[in-house]
């Protein structure tokens, strides 16, 4: 279901001009129809949830560092002082919950909802260096979530690679996407994952689940992040 600008403005409690600003800035996804905009209802709901959530996002490199440290890494892209600051940040976290985790980590990637031919998706999955993300990637990884019905495929793609891939495979953003692309900001955090056969860490997958429209998936992501934080704090106290 799609809504027009006036209805989106009513649901978000803003004026029509603000909705158009969000659309032009890419902070709200929609499609042009002549001189008008149509916006997916779920996109309006996502924006409504995000407006209610507390806290400022971490800078992208630091958000990725949080996830890497939780998974036993050392966030090699940070300087020693910055890494120490992120460790102190983790040590001071007090049961963030879904809103707190989401708020801290939300700036780590640019997320694109893409329309792609099925053959293009198959080709993408064979490209070296891309990493599987999202609900489909958590199967068999011990997350407390049942398989979701037909989840949209999700892939991590490096920023410098995406433009050529999008052009060569005719990938475009659209109102009825069948692919989600995640482009990490400021750093490629999967350098140790190797080629496309590499495995994205539990912390990263858990953070992906926080953005799901499925409450069970969000709860599973929060539970795994809380487990990883608890283990990290215990190890730090030894």
Q: Kindly report the number of other CB atoms within 10 A of residue 17's CB atom.
A: 10
The two three-digit tokens of residue 193, written as one number: 């994952």
Q: Do residues 225 and 218 touch, judged by C-beta distance below 8 A?
A: no
User: Rounded distance, CA 201 to CA 155, Å?
Assistant: 14
Q: What are the Cα distances from residue 44, in Å, to 61, 94, 145, 152, 215?
A: 28, 30, 26, 19, 17
* Rounded Cα distance, 211 and 50, in Å: 10
Q: Are strands 2-3 and 109-115 parallel, antiparallel or unpaired?
A: unpaired
Whether residue 111 sits in one domain with residue 71: yes
124 and 30 belong to one structural domain: no
- Within 10 angstroms of residue 6's Cβ, the number of other Cβ atoms is 12
Output the pLDDT for position 106.
Answer: 87
pTM comes to 0.77
Ranges of the chain with pLDDT below 70: 50-55, 146-150, 175, 192-198, 213
C-alpha distance across the termini of the chain, in Å: 53
Dihedral angle of Cα 153, 155, 161, 165, to the nearest 10 degrees? -10
Task: Tell whether 39 and 79 lie within a shared domain.
Answer: no
Do both 210 and 136 map to the same domain? yes
Query: For 153-164, how does the pLDDT look when each residue is reduced to its tens digit (9 = 90+)?
Result: 999 999 999 999
Number of domains in the chain: 2
Q: Are residues 46 and 67 in the same domain?
A: no
In terms of residue numbers, what domain contains 6? 2-52
Residue 181, classed as helix, strand or coil, is: strand
CA distances from 127 to 35, 120, 171 (A): 38, 11, 15
88 and 28 both lie in a single domain: no
Q: What is the pLDDT of residue 197?
A: 42
159 with 191, same domain: the answer is yes
- The residues with which 182 forms a beta bridge, in sequence order, are 111, 156
Q: What is the pLDDT of residue 195?
A: 36
Domain final position from 32, 52, 72: 52
168, 231: one domain? yes
The per-residue pLDDT for range 35-76, each reduced to its tens digit, is 789 999 888 888 877 666 566 789 999 999 999 999 999 999
Q: What is the DSSP string of 27-64?
A: SS--EEETTEEEEEHHHHHHHHHHHH--SPPPPHHHHH
Contact criterion met (CB below 8 Å) for 199 and 217: no
Asked whether residue 143 falls in the same domain as residue 110, the answer is yes
Question: The tokens 């990263």 sit on which residue?
Answer: 204
What is the model's pLDDT at position 32?
Answer: 82
Are 149 and 209 contained in the same domain?
yes
Regarding whether 197 and 135 lie in a shared domain, the answer is yes
Residues 184 and 228 in one domain: yes
């Amino acid at each position: 279901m799609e809504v027009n600008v006036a209805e989106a403005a009513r649901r978000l409690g803003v004026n029509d001009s603000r909705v158009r600003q969000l659309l032009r800035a890419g902070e709200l996804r929609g499609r042009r129809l002549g001189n008008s905009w149509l916006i997916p209802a779920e996109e309006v709901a996502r924006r409504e949830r995000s407006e209610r959530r507390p806290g400022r996002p971490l800078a992208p490199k630091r958000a990725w560092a949080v996830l890497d440290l939780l998974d036993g890494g050392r966030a090699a892209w940070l300087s020693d002082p910055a890494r120490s600051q992120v460790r102190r940040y983790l040590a001071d976290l007090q049961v963030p919950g879904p809103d707190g985790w989401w708020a801290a980590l939300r700036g780590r990637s640019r997320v694109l909802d893409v329309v792609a031919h099925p053959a293009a998706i198959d080709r993408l999955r064979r490209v070296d260096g891309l990493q599987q993300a999202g609900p489909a990637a958590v199967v068999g990884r011990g997350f407390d979530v049942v398989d979701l019905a037909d989840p949209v495929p999700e892939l991590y793609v490096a920023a410098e690679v995406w433009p050529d891939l999008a052009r060569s495979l005719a990938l475009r953003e659209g109102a009825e996407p069948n692919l989600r692309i995640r482009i990490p900001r400021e750093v490629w955090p999967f350098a140790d994952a190797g080629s496309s056969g590499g495995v994205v860490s539990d912390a990263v997958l858990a953070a992906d689940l926080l953005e799901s429209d499925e409450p069970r998936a969000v709860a599973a992501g929060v539970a795994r992040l809380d487990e990883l934080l608890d283990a990290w704090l215990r190890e730090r106290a030894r």
